[in-house]
Structure 1
Amino acid sequence: MAGPPKKRQKRDESKQEEGQMPQKKFYRQRAHANPFSDHDLIPSSPAAMDWSQHYPAFAITPPSSTPNNDPKTTTPEPNNQAPITQISKSVEVADIGCGFGGLLFALAPKMPSTLILGLEIRTSVTEFVQEKAKALRLQHASSDGLYQNVSCIRANSMKFLPNFFVKGQLRKIFLCFPDPHFKARKHKARIVSGTLNSEYAFVLAAGGKVYTITDVEDLHLWIVEHFEGHASFERVGEEELEGDECVETMRRETEEGKKVERNGGRKYVVVFRRLEDPPWP
């Protein structure tokens, strides 16, 4: 006798109608993944990314005879291949470790002209966010066309972030409830460190911000220590945070944020601004 259907089979059977929202129970996956493994993720460079498959509403096809050297929107043509479809603007907001996309889908209507990207290392979770984005686009296609500006990609951000974005491309980076890695020997796997902060500084434009939130005080203190100790960042004051709708959205719309709210836990929020690089001597 055949055994019970596998998770993927159940998942496919649940998607009977086009535009139907995916059910999270079919996309559950263990909470942690090893960030030091490649996970078969080998992006080559930002110029090699075909963003049109993630943001089809913003796709443009330039004439093959017209050169375009913008690394944010173009792809080289190796071996005389036909040009890959480009997009009319570049990604400017990244949610690193986006989980099931609560923040992504909350920000999308608030920033309709900005391309927002979630980066998630877990395969099933990434697929859930991608399917939800497709469903929401279809549901809003005949009216306001919302959610065309949001997508998700499977990525190991700790190893390959500069392979997706060029220098100064992003305006906002979100680090929401990252894995605290409590044991000292695991601290090297934390998403905030001196080395990783330099990568965030590389992909952020001057004036861009890194938004962080956690319910673990020890991790919060670690984040503050490592960003305040980095020459490319300054801490954003509390008065400025009060008028930033991204902060309130981050507090309330992430999956972990809702869980902390239900359990009566405390949320530690801190935001850092990318400083201008000093002039070369």
Structure 2
Amino acid sequence: MKQDQEKDKVGDTNNINDQQQQQDGDSIPRKGKSKSGKWRPSANPLVKRLVLSVDPPNWSTVFARPEQPVFIDVGCAKGEVLLQSSVANPGINHLGIDIRESLIDTAQRSHKILEIEAKCKVDNVHFMSANANVNLFNIAKSLPAGSIQKVSILFPDPWYKKKHAKRRVVNATFVNEIAMVTPVGAKVYIISDVQELYEDMANHFLSNSAFAKMENTMDAWDIPVSHKQSFYIEIGMPSWRSVLVRV
């Protein structure tokens, strides 16, 4: 196993030697070609049709044991990390949120396939389409108090242009809302293959007195490795990550 190589003062490079499963392919990619052959960006969270409030579900109908601790994946895409974790950790409820309905549809289909393959009900995972910057706080507040133990933001859209930085999911307001809905000891996982984006996310969290960086990221990173992360490891492409703890 390769050791993490520190790339900057606040973050670690992800160099775990895991076997590649497949490259993560979002149905709405970070940058993909349209039918015309032109490059198009990911879903803009500020457009009117996406700045919508959604009602939280009735958790007693979503989870078999709604009183359990909760792991929220913001920008869950196809749900692979939560589906892996839900099977390995039946004592934890898993909630995936993504702004792109097509990816949530894929995650829900994968959930059904998982139940068929497992020949049992996987009743500790749920996926919903929502704009996290608009809805995360209200959704989190509707969960049992103190239940949110893990929040992950894995490879979020980088929005490279300076004028588009306001579209990034992690900002001061977002971090403050997570601080308000998580108990002391809760962990936040961030990772990006764009160093500038990673540093921006890390700095937002570390600028908030409610969060501190855990020193040994390799040991603290106790959530499944995504297909994208495995692929980057396989080809030797660096990614930067940290685990923050609520203090």
* TM-score, normalization by structure 2: 0.76
**Pair 1:141–1:269, CA change in 2 (3 A):** same
Q: Which residue of 2 aligns with 1:230?
A: 208
Q: Does 1:98 align with 2:97?
A: no
Query: Residue deviations 1:48-98, cap 9 Å, x none?
Result: x2234533xx1xxxxxxxxxxxxxxxxxxxxxxxxxxxx542561100001
Distance 2:238 2:230 in 1: 11
Q: Which residue of 1 aligns with 2:227?
A: 255
- Given residue 115 of structure 1, which amino acid in structure 2 is its aligned partner? N
Distance 1:43 1:175 in 2: 20
Higher-Rg structure is: 1
What is the SS of the residue equivalent to 1:206? coil
Contact 2:74 2:151 (8 Å CA) reproduced: yes
Q: Which residue of 2 aligns with 1:160?
A: 135
**Pair 1:268–1:179, CA change in 2 (3 A):** same
Q: Does 1:43 align with 2:54?
A: yes
Contact 1:100 1:255 (8 Å CA) reproduced: no
Contact 2:69 2:91 (8 Å CA) reproduced: no
- Given residue 267 of structure 1, which amino acid in structure 2 is its aligned partner? S
Contact 1:228 1:235 (8 Å CA) reproduced: yes
Q: Which residue of 1 aligns with 2:43?
A: 33
More displaced stretch, 87-96 vs 110-119: 87-96
RMSD between aligned residues: 2.4
Greater RCO (CA < 8 Å, at least 6 residues apart): 2
Contact 1:99 1:120 (8 Å CA) reproduced: yes
- 1:177 counterpart (152, 155, 173): 155
**Correspondences of 1:52-67 after superposition (within 5 Å):** 52-55=60-63, 58=64
**Pair 1:232–1:40, CA change in 2 (3 A):** closer
**Correspondences of 1:53-132 after superposition (within 5 Å):** 53-55=61-63, 58=64, 88-89=66-67, 92-132=70-110
Deviation at 1:40, TM superposition (A): 7.3
Q: Which residue of 1 aligns with 2:194?
A: 216
- The size of the alignment, in residue pairs, is 209
Deviation at 1:209, TM superposition (A): 0.9
Identity of aligned residues (%): 26
Distance 1:225 1:33 in 2: 24
Distance 2:219 2:234 in 1: 25
- Given residue 104 of structure 1, which amino acid in structure 2 is its aligned partner? L
Distance 2:88 2:170 in 1: 27
Deviation at 1:137, TM superposition (A): 1.6
What is the SS of the residue equivalent to 1:269? strand
- Given residue 42 of structure 1, which amino acid in structure 2 is its aligned partner? S
Contact 2:170 2:201 (8 Å CA) reproduced: yes
- 1:244 counterpart (220, 224, 244): 220
Contact 2:70 2:93 (8 Å CA) reproduced: yes
- 1:264 counterpart (222, 236, 244): 236
Deviation at 1:130, TM superposition (A): 0.7
**Pair 1:50–1:265, CA change in 2 (3 A):** same
